[in-house]
Amino acid sequence: MQTNSIGTKERAALKCPVCKSPELRATDLEAGLTFFNCPECRGNWLRGAQYWKWLQQHGPNLPQRSDQDSGLSLVEPDIHIDCPECRFRMVKYLVGHGFSFTIDHCEGCKGVWLDRNEWEALRERNLHDDLNSMFTSFWQDAAEKEARKKRLERIYVSRFGPHDYAEIERVRAWLATRPNKQDLLAYLTDKDPFDV
């Protein structure tokens, strides 16, 4: 047995919940926090208790950043996975905040599965110390609203074309700032505003 494998005497080796067969190996992706990494899909398993301990040592919650995007390659396997420790079906939680990926959470052991580069992407924006908040309905409601907005935006873009959509958004934003918005709208939609 390899020394960096977690197949220690006291517990059986953990298998990747996505690829099924490869054994997860302990890795030091983050100082003071042990992840178990899949050598095949590069996903990471994070134990709930370890995350809480790290979070306490980590200090105050870092302010979120929106200026960081190093273009990390993210994958989102569209499959439901089972917890590698207790076999519970894991629940997908939206991250939001501009990210379209989800993270998987085990309601049993509180462990978290992060696909390749997801932890790194969260860390870039200081969202890596917010995993606990992501599992709340408050966070999920906001993330769902954001996802709904994005879906509708795609529909409008395909309906109007990207140029016209950008133009109408500009006009909308301008209208919103005008005190006589209703008059302007009436003028705009009137078939012939000079035929009074």
What are the residues binding Zn ion (CB under 5 A)? 16, 18-19, 38, 40-41, 83, 85-86, 106, 108-109, 111
Q: Which of 33, 38 has the CB closer to Zn ion?
A: 38
Q: Which of 22, 156 has the CB closer to Zn ion?
A: 22
Nearest-approach distance from CB 52 to Zn ion, in angstroms: 14
Q: Which of 75, 142 has the CB closer to Zn ion?
A: 75
Give the list of residues 6+ apart from residue 105 with CB closer than 8 angstroms, or none: 90, 91, 92, 93, 111, 112, 113, 135
Q: Name the CA dihedral angle for 126, 128, 132, 134, rounded to a multiple of 10 degrees.
A: 70
Nearest-approach distance from CB 147 to Zn ion, in angstroms: 26
Q: With beta carbons less than 8 A apart as the criterion, state whether 101 and 83 touch.
A: no
Burial of residue 57 (number of CB atoms within 10 Å: 0-12, 13-18, 19+): exposed
Q: Which of 44, 95 has the CB closer to Zn ion?
A: 44
Q: With beta carbons less than 8 A apart as the criterion, state whether 121 and 99 touch.
A: yes
Nearest-approach distance from CB 21 to Zn ion, in angstroms: 8
- Grouping H, G, I as helix, E, B as strand and the rest as coil, residue 160 is helix
Nearest-approach distance from CB 34 to Zn ion, in angstroms: 16
Q: Which of 18, 96 has the CB closer to Zn ion?
A: 18
Nearest-approach distance from CB 18 to Zn ion, in angstroms: 4
Taking the CA atoms of the chain, what radius of gyration do you get in angstroms? Answer: 23
